[in-house]
Copies of this chain bind each other. A is one copy, B any other.
Amino acid sequence: MKYTAINFKDKLSKFNDHWAPRVIAELNNYQVKLAKVQGEFVWHDHPDTDEVFIVIDGVLDIEFRDGRVRLETGEMFVVPKGVEHKPVAENECQILLVEPGGTLNTGDTGSILTADNDVWI
């Protein structure tokens, strides 16, 4: 099969760790990533790029210094570049990210939660 669909549920079944995005596709120099998240992430920002969050299944809160947004299944938000944010999920949540290749999950904030980059699944 030269042309094969990328199935989100199939890809999500292949890993279980949290806050460790897996690349599933590239769009020019951008990447589409899937992640499972649960609990509180770290405050960080991405100085050079906006970041798309799409909730595939679950509920994701994105906290900002001056507010927050709750994303449920079938909802999205674009975090503007340079804006500090902290994703939080009370229960496990499956998300899709779109951002330039090379974007670290913790931005410039070195952290134990910094995941390996460019891991394909």
Binding site for B on A (CB under 8 A): 1-9, 24-28, 30, 32, 49-52, 56, 62, 64, 66-72, 74-78, 81, 98-100
Contact = CB atoms under 8 A, between A and B. Distances in A.
B26 A78 contact: yes
The oligomer's copy count stands at 2
A82 B62 CA distance: 37
B3 A75 contact: no
Given A2-B66, A2-B67, A32-B52, A74 B7 contact: yes
A49 B74 contact: no
Contacts of A30: 30, 98
A72 B25 contact: no
Nearest to A2: B67
B28 A76 contact: no
Contacts of A56: 74
Contact of A5 (B4, B6, B72): B72
Contacts of A52: 25, 27, 32, 98
A76 B26 contact: no
B76 A32 contact: yes
